[in-house]
Structure 1
Amino acid sequence: MVRPRISTNFAISADGKISSIHHRPSGWTSKQDHQRLLELRQNADALMVGRGTLEHDQMTLTGPRNPLRCIISRTGELDPTHPIFSKPGGPIHLLVTNGEGKSLPQDPRLTIHTGTLKDFIHSLAETHHVKNLHCEGGGQLVNELAQLDLIDEFHLTVAAHTLFGGAESPTTTGKPANFLPASRHFKISYFEPRTDLGECFLSYSRA
């Protein structure tokens, strides 16, 4: 399969959750972690996010290279007043995996795709010449990428200062019971403990 190199980025609590059961928005980690998020976008030709994360965090998906902004949604229902449609940035590509797309703004930057995540990723490389695709969540989307074994690099901030708890609180691969069919093997490529912040920055590369 012709595809881009795919990386992803998460912050997790001390108990391995990416958010609370009520989907607490981003902003609960340090300013240094947010700066790292921006740095990880620097080489991205495209940024990708699931609709739920886009809405909870009010993301606009901008970066220094004016990357494509890719949204993955089962139904395609997006709020036309979402700030991604008013923020200057790259073209917006919406993948609808189980629907037709509703309540969408008439934005000339918006292209709607239907089909599978795998086919969409292939088209990003083949048609839009995307070499580096960076995914910023949520857990269910990353679970689908891991199911397809398409993740090349995994960036993680372990935030020891926070405990979310909750059996249904999402992890980096969605709900805790969403097991992968097999292990995915990575090696640590970067390790920076920040005891002053109560955080540790890590990167993992496909083994």
Structure 2
Amino acid sequence: MTRPHISINFAVSADGKISSVARRPSGWTSEEDHARLLQLRKGADALLVGRGTLEADRMTMKASGDPLRCVVSRGGKFDPAHPLFHSAGGPIHLLITEGPALEIPGATIHTGSLASFLQELTAIGVKHLHCEGGGELARELAAMDAIDEIHLTWAGHTIFGGRAAPTISGVPGEFLPASGAYELIEFDPRPETGECFLSYRRKA
């Protein structure tokens, strides 16, 4: 499958969980983590999130260089009043995987699978796609063996707990089709915040 180089970025609690859309703590990571988020966006041709993450964080997906702003939704229930559609930034591309094509002013609508969407992004020149959540979307990318880099903020100061609390591969359930092998390329502990920045790259 032809696709862009794909990186993901998540903040992870001491027990390996990410904050869920349904129960999202406010400001549970540091200002340094937010600065790293912005830094990781640099160099990406496109940013990618799921609709739930977009709604929960009220994201505008603004970044230096104005990369494409891409959002994935099953049913396409986008809120036209959302800040994304009323903020300056890169072109907006919305993927609806199961519902009909809708018209959202200022956005390009795509329908079909995530795999076909990745091919469409490649066709329009996207070489580096950076995903910022949520867990279900990252799991789908992992199931496709389509994650080239993993960036984590290990926030050891927080425990979420709970069987239903998601990880970077979604809510615990069935195993992925295959395991992926990655090598550590960055280890940056921040004792002052109780966090550590980690980056992994797919092994050749």
Report TM bin, short chain: over 0.9
Structure 2 letter corresponding to 1:138: G
CA offset at residue 62 of structure 1? Answer: 1.2
- Report the Cα offset of residue 23 of structure 1: 2.8
The number of aligned residues is: 203
The one-letter amino acid of 1:46's match is: A
1:149 aligns with 2:145: yes
Code of the aligned partner of 1:193 = P
1:63-113 deviations in whole A, cap 9, x for unaligned? 1111111000000111111100111111111110000155x54x2x30111
Which position in structure 2 is the counterpart of 1:5? 5
Residues 141-168 of structure 1 show CA distances to partners (whole Å, capped at 9, x for unaligned) of 0000000001000000000111111110
Provide the rounded CA distance (Å) in 2 between the counterparts of 1:111 and 1:21: 25
User: TM-score, normalised on structure 1?
Assistant: 0.94
Map 1:109-124 → 2, pairs under 5 A: 109-124=106-121
Aligned residues with identical type, % of pairs: 59
Give the match for residue 41 of structure 2.
41
Point out where structure 1 has 5 or more consecutive residues left out of the alignment. none
Name 1:184's counterpart in structure 2. 180
SS at match of 2:81: coil
Partner SS, residue 202 of structure 1: strand
* Residue identity opposite 2:134 in structure 1: G
Cα pair 2:21 2:52 within 8 Å, conserved:
no
* TM-score (ref. length: structure 2): 0.95
SS in 2 for 1:69: strand
The residue that corresponds to 1:140 in the other structure is: 136
| Distance across 2 between alignment mates of 1:112 and 1:27 | 32
Alignment check: 8 A CA contact 1:75 1:101 kept = no
RMSD: 1.4
Inter-partner Cα distance in structure 2 for 1:112 and 1:137? 20
- Please list, as runs of the form range in 1=range in 2, the aligned pairs for 1:32-181 lying within 5 A after superposition: 32-101=32-101, 105=104, 107=105, 109-126=106-123, 128-181=124-177
Counterpart contact for 2:12–2:155, Cα < 8 Å: yes
For residue 112 of structure 1, what is the amino acid of its counterpart?
I
Preserved CA contact (<8 Å) 1:58 1:82 = yes
